């Protein structure tokens, strides 16, 4: 299929917003998060392997070290909602549930990986546990004293949009005041969007990453909805992302495969192989935080290969820190690009068709990088779904890319 009808062409502004200056998240954070796979399981007697407990996080940390996840870049183990005791202690401090976390949070922070934890801007978390409203400085000090490295801060149970914004600002200031570098992951724009357009310039001044969309689910509909939402809003969100501050498609899951705030649900149950490849490829193009939400203790080799793919991770973690964007949509095909360091580009060809067999999409290399990506010549390497050297091409070349239904071919274009 020739790319004759260029439906969307985007011009991305190069002006960057000022980022939160706390020295962390210079590239999109990577790690593992419990929520999408394990939810709010608290019955350790009935379901010991699925209970939100210190055992679960210690076992995941053990696997991350032993099976190459930490070496690949996944450095955070993140506790989501439901870790807390039902009430604060006598000094007003948050405390872990003593039955499920008998050793306390500090023990997990000292376990060998960076630790992420969860709280809420309101007076209750989304699952009904104590929130941080009225306790921002105390909770920030508590997290710092435990050795926490990341805070996911939700937005449930707050009385007004004014209190929501005030709470996110106050927690950011409180975390910085502790003197400990803590990645601050906000849900701020997600809760604003139903009522008003988020001010991303302001949000980036307070947060290291921010969630824009609904929870990611272990389904193709969820993945393609996130990709489409990102494309429709790219004019307002792409220019904001960069070192120190990232758009989070959802802090939830690539089950079985990858991402957290943009949770990778690869390695779970709901995605075909082609769809898992699409999530990994598109999260790399979108410079999304990579947080897996899966059971690392029981991973299929192909899911592990995909999530640990060093070439894809290198694109996601590229130090230039620019987010990719859709440059055209032609019937069922989408063409995306992401500027990389050293004048290289990552390119994704996504086939949204859900029936039939593989189809070809043909496009001119002059469409990439405003005509500069392959000028006068370039080397092209296919990264996904497998690694293939496509050789040397020139500025006037056209590429014909065969893509399976719901699949994506990810390329890297390096100028000569």
Tens of pLDDT, residues 278-293: 999 999 999 999 999 9
Whether 123 contacts 133, CB under 8 Å: yes
Helices 220-232 + 273-285 axis angle, to 10: 30
pLDDT of residue 270: 72
CATH code reported for the domain at 325-415: 2.60.40.1180
d(CA 328, CA 5): 9
C-alpha of 23 from chain center: 19
pLDDT of residue 215: 63
β-sheet with 30-33: strand ranges across: 246-248, 209-211, 183-186, 150-154, 114-120, 76-78, 30-33, 290-292, 263-265, 253-254
User: What tens digit of pLDDT does each residue of 130-148 get?
Assistant: 999 999 999 999 999 999 9
pLDDT of residue 268: 57
Domain ranges of the chain: 30-317, 325-415
d(CA 282, CA 363): 19
Q: Computed from CA positions of residues 191, 192, 197, 200, in that sequence, does the dihedral angle turn out positive or negative?
A: negative
pLDDT of residue 263: 58
d(CA 72, CA 75): 9
Question: 260 forms bridges with which residues in the sheet?
Answer: 263
* Both tokens assigned to 316: 């996601």
Is the domain defined by 30-317 classed in CATH 3.40.50.1110? Answer: no
Question: What is the mean pLDDT of each successive set of 10 residues along the chain, which is 416 residues long?
Answer: 39 59 96 94 97 98 98 98 98 98 98 97 98 98 98 96 97 98 96 92 97 74 90 96 92 40 55 93 97 94 96 98 97 97 98 96 96 96 98 96 97 97
Domains 30-317 and 325-415 share a fold: no
With 0.85 as the threshold, say if the pTM is over it: yes
* Both tokens assigned to 292: 């897996």
Catalytic residues: 154, 215
d(CA 96, CA 102): 8
d(CA 270, CA 216): 12
Residue 141's closest CA among 103, 102, 182, 97?
182
User: What tens digit of pLDDT does each residue of 325-348 get?
Assistant: 999 999 999 999 999 999 999 999
pLDDT of residue 401: 98
């Amino acid at each position: 299929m020739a790319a004759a009808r260029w439906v969307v062409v985007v011009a991305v502004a190069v002006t960057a917003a000022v980022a939160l200056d706390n020295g962390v998240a210079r590239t999109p954070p990577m790690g593992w998060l419990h929520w999408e796979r394990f939810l709010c399981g608290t019955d350790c007697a009935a379901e010991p392997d699925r209970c939100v407990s210190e055992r679960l996080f210690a076992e995941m940390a053990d696997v991350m070290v032993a099976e190459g996840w930490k070496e690949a870049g996944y450095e955070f183990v993140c506790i989501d909602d439901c870790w807390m005791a039902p009430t604060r202690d006598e000094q007003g401090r948050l405390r872990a549930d003593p039955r499920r976390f008998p050793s306390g949070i500090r023990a997990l922070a000292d376990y060998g990986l960076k630790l992420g934890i969860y709280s809420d801007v309101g007076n209750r978390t989304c699952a009904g546990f104590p929130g941080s409203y009225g306790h921002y400085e105390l909770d920030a000090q508590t997290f710092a004293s435990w050795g926490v490295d990341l805070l996911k801060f939700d937005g449930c149970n707050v009385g007004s949009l004014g209190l929501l914004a005030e709470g996110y600002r106050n927690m950011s200031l409180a975390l910085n005041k502790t003197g400990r570098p803590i990645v601050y992951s906000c849900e701020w724009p997600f809760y604003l969007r139903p009522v008003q357009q988020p001010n991303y310039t302001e949000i980036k001044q307070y947060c290291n990453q921010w969630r824009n969309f609904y929870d990611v689910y272990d389904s193709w509909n969820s993945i393609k909805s996130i990709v489409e939402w990102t494309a429709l809003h790219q004019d307002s969100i792409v220019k904001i992302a960069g070192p120190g501050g990232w758009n989070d498609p959802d802090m939830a899951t690539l089950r079985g495969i990858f991402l957290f705030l943009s949770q990778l649900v690869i390695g779970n149950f709901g995605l075909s192989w082609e769809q898992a490849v699409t999530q990994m490829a598109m999260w790399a193009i979108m410079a999304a935080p990579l947080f897996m939400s899966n059971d690392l203790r029981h991973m299929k080799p192909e899911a592990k290969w995909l999530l640990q793919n060093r070439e894809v991770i290198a694109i996601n973690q590229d130090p230039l820190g620019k987010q990719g964007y859709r440059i055209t949509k032609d019937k069922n095909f989408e063409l995306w690009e992401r500027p990389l360091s050293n004048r290289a580009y990552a390119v994704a060809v996504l086939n949204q068709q859900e029936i039939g067999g593989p189809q070809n999409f043909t496009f001119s290399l002059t469409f990439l990088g405003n005509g500069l990506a392959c000028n006068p010549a370039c080397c092209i390497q296919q990264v996904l779904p497998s690694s293939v050297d496509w050789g040397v091409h020139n500025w006037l070349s056209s590429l014909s890319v065969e893509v399976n239904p719901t699949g994506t071919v990810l390329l890297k274009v390096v100028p000569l």
